[in-house]
Amino acid sequence: MEIPVIYSDKDLVAVNKPPGLPVHGGKMIKGPTLVDFLLEKFPEMKKVGDLPAQAGDPERPGIVHRLDKDTSGVMVVARNQETFLALKNIFQKLL
């Protein structure tokens, strides 16, 4: 699975999620997800998320927002816990 990486630095990644690809797994999700791609390319994301940084969130590492499975578009994903918290704060203020 190859997903276009629009931007990447030490703190975050921006990808162009294609339609038909779920962002993360779940009970009803079968097949590859955006998270699968991200963890393959950026394994440090494994410990980034809402759970303590040491544990990470196995289903949504680095994910601060999502797009529906059938929606395409740019997603910004954190590569470290500090950036995750900063991005999460920004998205919460926008809503």
Tell me the one-letter amino acid at 77.
V
Long-range contacts of 28-34 (CB under 8 A, 24+ apart): 32/1, 34/3, 34/75
| Catalytic choice (11, 36, 57, 68) | 68
Pairing relation of β-strands 12-17 and 5-8?
Answer: antiparallel
> How many CB atoms within 10 Å of residue 18?
14
Residue 68 annotated among the catalytic residues of the structure: yes
> How many CB atoms within 10 Å of residue 87?
19
Q: Which active-site residues does the annotation give?
A: 68
